[in-house]
């Protein structure tokens, strides 16, 4: 109808007259029922229609109130509990509701209707096909988009449900907020900031999940997602072009991921999931379970590929990248800095482990390289051959390890483990209780450690290398070359035999015979055990504990004989530069010849003709005395008792403490 026609004019005038004559019974609000102009500040508890000619400002819609914005404009309405507002088009005229506050009531946006700036404090908003909601804020309550469109919604504490091919864009879901996308709907440019989004049989694009936010997709498609401190759970869905940052997690269950970049978080492939074209950077991890597969993977320094029985193919492992895998069930193939590698049919070839990388070997592993912070476990009945352990790498063996090369790393031979033909160029081989090592070469700067009930057979110790045998350890067939170190004790269960530069030697049954100590080598003779025919050369040390005994000890230049209080050392041959450490404590017994060819002793609380030099020391305790002691360079004497006739030469030191006496001392340049 033409608005300028006489009929239209008469109808409008009549409507105005009727409206003016409306009588409001007591208890009911007076309001304009049909708005064709501008009305302000009305309270509506009945039916009000706002057509294309009308505008309402600050309307209060209370219980039983109903405002129908039919092509008109509503500004600043408040909809209380029981109140309703409908917004729709009238022909070509859009209905508009601006800055509405829903406080227990409801707002319905129909075809051609637009709401802008609605605040839902409690109550509901409905957006149907053809309707549009812009910039709605949901504090509490619910927005339902059934085939309609919602843009720029902020969900602070309530919820929004999108169904029937609805469209939402630019939504922000804050903590305690919830959004549900179902029935072929589409959500774009969503920020999940501590809130939760559920997607079923729909699509989401350009989503950011952060600050503990969570998105769960079921039978859906997620495109271009950024997970920054949040969680995305992908069930029977597809995730395409995903970036996972620090603290972010993506879990795929029976799903597909394509073009994923993991910059610091974790992607987990579970329940027959697949991934293709993944890039893993420092701090990032991809986990592939035993039913899942990943293809075309780039792992950069600090990144981790963790294959837990699944399949990972076309892997490019850059320097510093970590591979975690197991030979049991896993299939992994690709290239590392050393060349091509593979894990297949329980066999691993040319695997590189570093920077947190780990391999569990159930079958066999060949030519594995273990670098800094890399580890490998050879399990019971498994085999590893030609492994190289570099500085900082660790290999644990409960099965069999052959031809291992240790270049600064550590090999632990555990219970039931056997290592054969190991070359320790530098680093350590530890033989634990129940472990065995055969034919080990111990080079300069390296060491083999045999713990209680561990066994080493055929160890060859080169100059600068060390064989360390703890109490109860076993080492047979030792070849101790000149300049190498043996560290051991005569404790219960210790059983060592082999050849040194002088003769065959043994430490067994609480007795040591013909041991040579040099270059950090050390023998501790424990209580109620003995050592005989010991040679202590430069850098070596023989320690005789209380109630222990030694007989026939040759103390050469640079060697140390330490007889602790109550220990016994007979037939000591002290050569020039040999260091004796002892005291005159009652029960200590030392007898022999010093470097001047004179007989010396310490017995019955008296020391006679003792020579102290080259870090040698004598403590003369209270109530005892020392007679005719010679203190040479770097020798030291502490006197708490009585000293007679000491010769103090250059660079020697004698200290006389309170109540002690010194008589007839001959000071030639030392310090008293």
Q: Do residues 395 and 473 share a domain?
A: yes
Residue 205, in any domain of the structure: no
pLDDT, residue 636, reads 98
Q: Do residues 524 and 506 share a domain?
A: no
Last residue within a domain, chosen from 489, 514, 539: 514
Q: What is the mean pLDDT of residues 259-263?
A: 99
pLDDT, residue 666, reads 77
Question: Does residue 16 register a pLDDT over 90?
Answer: no
Give the Å distances, CA to CA, from 133 to 58, 65, 144, 303, 507.
19, 22, 10, 44, 90
Rounded Cα–Cα distance for residues 477 and 497 (Å) = 6
Question: Looking at 3-7, 81-85, 347-351, 480-484, which range is the least confident one?
Answer: 3-7
pLDDT, residue 665, reads 72
Asked whether 320 and 304 are in contact (CB, 8 A), the reply is no
Give the Å distances, CA to CA, from 569 to 163, 531, 588, 624.
94, 9, 9, 19
Report the candidate in 34, 41, 28 with the shortest Cα–Cα distance to residue 12. 34
Rounded Cα–Cα distance for residues 410 and 21 (Å) = 100
Q: Do residues 627 and 497 share a domain?
A: no
The number of residues making up the chain comes to: 672
Q: Where are the alpha helices (DSSP H) in 178-335?
A: none
Q: Which helix (H) or strand (E) covers residue 638, if one does?
A: strand 636-639
Decide: residue 6, CB within 10 A, 0-12 exposed, 13-18 middle, 19+ buried: exposed
Report the candidate in 167, 182, 235, 242 with the shortest Cα–Cα distance to residue 208. 242
pLDDT, residue 23, reads 36
Q: Give residues with Cβ within 8 angstroms of 57, minimum separation 6.
A: 38, 39, 40, 41, 75, 76
Residue 283, in any domain of the structure: no
- Residue for token digits 């500004």? 75
Rounded Cα–Cα distance for residues 241 and 414 (Å) = 46
Rounded Cα–Cα distance for residues 265 and 161 (Å) = 29
Question: Does residue 124 register a pLDDT over 50?
Answer: yes
pLDDT, tens digit (0-9, with 9 covering 90-100), for 287-344: 999 999 999 999 999 999 999 999 999 999 999 999 999 999 999 999 999 999 999 9
Which region, left, alpha or beta, applies to residue 4 given φ > 0 means left and ψ of -120 to 50 means alpha? alpha
Q: How high does pLDDT run on average in the chain?
A: 95
Residue 282 tokens, joined? 């420092």
Question: Does residue 56 register a pLDDT over 60?
Answer: yes
DSSP state of 147: B
Rounded Cα–Cα distance for residues 238 and 222 (Å) = 6
DSSP state of 338: T
Residue 588, in any domain of the structure: yes
Residue 158, in any domain of the structure: no
Q: What is the mean pLDDT of residues 655-667?
A: 89
Residue 599 tokens, joined? 């007989």
Q: Given pLDDT bands bounded at 50, 70 and 90, which one contains residue 25?
A: very low
- Residue for token digits 């140390």? 560
Asked whether 289 and 307 are in contact (CB, 8 A), the reply is no
Q: Given pLDDT bands bounded at 50, 70 and 90, which one contains residue 29?
A: low
Question: Does residue 22 register a pLDDT over 60?
Answer: no
Asked whether 252 and 273 are in contact (CB, 8 A), the reply is yes
Question: Does residue 4 register a pLDDT over 60?
Answer: no
pLDDT, residue 223, reads 99
Residue 338 tokens, joined? 């050393």
20 vs 505, which has greater pLDDT?
505
Q: Do residues 655 and 540 share a domain?
A: yes
pLDDT, tens digit (0-9, with 9 covering 90-100), for 463-494: 999 999 999 999 999 999 999 999 999 999 99
Q: Do residues 530 and 672 share a domain?
A: yes
Residue 142, in any domain of the structure: no
Residue 469, in any domain of the structure: yes
Range(s) of the domain holding residue 663 = 516-672
Rounded Cα–Cα distance for residues 471 and 451 (Å) = 7
Q: Do residues 654 and 559 share a domain?
A: yes
Report helix, strand or coil for 348: strand
* Residues paired with 330 in a beta bridge: none
Question: Does residue 5 register a pLDDT over 70?
Answer: no
Q: Do residues 533 and 427 share a domain?
A: no
CA end-to-end span of the chain: 127
Q: What is the DSSP string of 220-263?
A: -EEEEEEEEBSEEEEES-EEEEEEE-TT-EEEEES-EEEEEEES
- Residue for token digits 């609380």? 605
- Residue for token digits 């409001």? 24
Question: Looking at 99-103, 119-123, 638-642, 665-669, which range is the least confident one?
Answer: 665-669
pLDDT, residue 408, reads 98
Residue 325, in any domain of the structure: no
Instruction: Return the half-sphere exposure (C-beta side, CA atoms, 13 A cut-off) of residue 17.
Output: 6
Q: Do residues 409 and 500 share a domain?
A: yes
What is the rounded (10 degree) CA torsion for 490, 493, 497, 502? 0
pLDDT, residue 11, reads 30
Q: What is the mean pLDDT of residues 405-420?
A: 99
Q: Do residues 510 and 563 share a domain?
A: no
Instruction: Read off φ and ψ for residue 4, nearest 5 degrees.
Output: -95, 0
410 vs 19, which has greater pLDDT?
410
Last residue within a domain, chosen from 514, 537, 560: 514
Residue percentage of the chain with pLDDT more than 70: 95
pLDDT, tens digit (0-9, with 9 covering 90-100), for 490-523: 999 999 999 999 999 999 999 999 999 999 999 9
How many structural domains are present in the chain? 2
Q: What is the mean pLDDT of residues 574-592?
A: 99
DSSP state of 467: E
Burial 117-144 (b: 16+ CB within 10 A, else e): bbbbbbbbbbbbeebbbbbbbbbebbbb
Residue percentage of the chain with pLDDT more than 90: 94
Residue 526 tokens, joined? 């424990």
- Residue for token digits 């000591």? 572
Last residue within a domain, chosen from 484, 514, 544: 514
Rounded Cα–Cα distance for residues 365 and 357 (Å) = 15
Residue 649, in any domain of the structure: yes
Residue 617 tokens, joined? 């020391």
Q: Given pLDDT bands bounded at 50, 70 and 90, which one contains residue 534?
A: very high
pLDDT, residue 670, reads 59
Instruction: Read off φ and ψ for residue 13, nearest 5 degrees.
Output: -65, -45
Q: Given pLDDT bands bounded at 50, 70 and 90, which one contains residue 664?
A: confident
Q: Do residues 443 and 587 share a domain?
A: no
Q: What is the mean pLDDT of residues 583-590?
A: 98
In this structure, the number of other CB atoms found within 10 A of the CB of residue 429 comes to 30
Residue 665 tokens, joined? 């001392």
pLDDT, tens digit (0-9, with 9 covering 90-100), for 603-614: 999 999 999 999
Asked whether 466 and 447 are in contact (CB, 8 A), the reply is yes
DSSP state of 584: -
pLDDT, residue 672, reads 64
Question: Does residue 118 register a pLDDT over 70?
Answer: yes
Q: Do residues 663 and 649 share a domain?
A: yes
pLDDT, residue 6, reads 33
3-state secondary structure 24-64: CCCCCCCCCCEECCEEECCEECCEEEECCCCEEECCEECCC
* Residues paired with 205 in a beta bridge: 188, 223
Q: Given pLDDT bands bounded at 50, 70 and 90, which one contains residue 350?
A: very high
pTM above 0.75, yes or no: yes
Q: Do residues 556 and 589 share a domain?
A: yes
Rounded Cα–Cα distance for residues 614 and 122 (Å) = 90
**What's CA 469's distance to the chain center, in Å?**
34
Rounded Cα–Cα distance for residues 75 and 98 (Å) = 5
pLDDT, residue 671, reads 66
């Amino acid at each position: 109808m033409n608005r300028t026609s006489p009929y239209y004019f008469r109808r409008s005038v009549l409507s105005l007259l009727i409206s003016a004559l409306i009588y409001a019974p007591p208890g009911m609000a007076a309001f304009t029922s049909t708005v064709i102009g501008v009305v302000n500040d009305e309270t509506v508890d009945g039916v009000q229609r706002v057509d294309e000619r009308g505008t309402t400002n600050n309307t209060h819609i209370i219980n039983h109130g109903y405002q129908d914005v039919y092509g008109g404009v509503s500004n600043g309405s408040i909809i209380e509990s029981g109140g309703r507002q409908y917004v729709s088009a009238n022909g070509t005229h859009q209905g508009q509701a601006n800055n509405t506050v829903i406080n227990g009531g409801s707002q319905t946006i129909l075809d051609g209707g637009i709401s802008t700036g609605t605040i839902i404090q409690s109550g509901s908003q409905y957006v149907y096909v053809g309707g549009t909601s812009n910039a709605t804020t949901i504090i509490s309550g619910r927005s339902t988009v059934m085939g309609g469109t919602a843009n720029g919604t902020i969900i602070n504490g309530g919820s929004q449900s999108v169904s029937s091919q609805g469209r939402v864009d630019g939504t922000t879901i804050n903590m305690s907020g919830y959004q549900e996308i179902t029935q072929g709907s589409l959500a774009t440019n969503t920020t999940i900031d501590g809130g939760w989004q559920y997607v079923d049989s729909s699509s989401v694009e350009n989503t950011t999940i952060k600050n503990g936010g969570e998105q769960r997709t079921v039978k859906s498609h997620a495109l271009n997602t950024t997970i920054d401190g949040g969680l995305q759970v992908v069930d029977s869905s597809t995730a395409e072009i995903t970036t996972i940052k620090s603290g972010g997690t993506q879990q795929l269950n029976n799903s597909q991921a394509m073009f994923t970049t993991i910059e610091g978080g974790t992607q987990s492939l579970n329940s027959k999931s697949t991934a293709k074209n993944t890039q893993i950077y420092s701090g990032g991890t991809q986990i592939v379970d035993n039913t899942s597969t990943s293809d075309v993977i780039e792992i950069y320094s600090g990144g981790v590929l963790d294959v837990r029985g699944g399949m990972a193919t076309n892997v490019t492992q850059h320097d510093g990248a970590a591979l975690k895998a197991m030979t049991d069930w896993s299939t992994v193939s690709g290239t590392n800095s050393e060349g091509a590698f593979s894990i297949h049919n329980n066999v691993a070839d040319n695997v590189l482990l570093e920077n947190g990388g780990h391999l569990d070997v159930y079958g066999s592993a060949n030519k594995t390289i273990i670098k800094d912070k890399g580890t490998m476990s050879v399990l019971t009945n498994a085999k590893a051959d030609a492994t190289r352990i570099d500085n900082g790498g660790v290999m644990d063996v409960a099965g069999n390890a052959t031809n291992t090369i240790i270049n600064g790393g550590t090999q632990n031979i555990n219970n039931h483990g056997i290592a054969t033909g190991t070359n320790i160029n530098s680093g350590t081989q530890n033989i634990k209780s129940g472990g065995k090592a055969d034919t080990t070469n111990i080079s300069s700067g390296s060491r083999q450690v045999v713990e209680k009930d561990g066994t080493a057979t055929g160890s060859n110790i080169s100059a600068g290398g060390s064989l360390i045998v703890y109490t109860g350890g076993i080492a047979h067939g030792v070849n101790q070359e000149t300049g190498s170190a043996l560290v051991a004790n005569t404790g219960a269960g210790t059983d060592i035999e082999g050849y040194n530069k002088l003769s065959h030697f043994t430490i067994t049954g609480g007795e040591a015979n013909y041991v040579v100590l040099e270059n950090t080598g050390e023998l501790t003779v424990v209580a109620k055990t003995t050592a005989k025919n010991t040679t202590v050369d430069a850098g070596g040390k023989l320690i005789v504990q209380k109630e222990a005994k030694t007989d026939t000890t040759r103390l050469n230049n640079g060697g140390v004989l330490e007889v602790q209080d109550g220990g016994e050392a007979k037939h000591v041959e002290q050569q020039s530069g040999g260091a004796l450490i002892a005291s005159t404590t009652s029960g200590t017994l030392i007898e022999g010849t010093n470097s001047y060819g004179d007989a010396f002793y310490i017995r019955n609380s008296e020391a006679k003709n003792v020579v102290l030099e080259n870090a040698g020391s004598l403590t003369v305790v209270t109530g005892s005395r020392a007679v005719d002691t010679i203190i040479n360079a770097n020798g030291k004497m502490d006197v708490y008792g009585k000293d007679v006739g000491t010769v103090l030469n250059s660079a020697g030191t004698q200290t006389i403490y309170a109540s002690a006496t010194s008589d007839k001392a001959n000071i030639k340049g030392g310090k008293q």
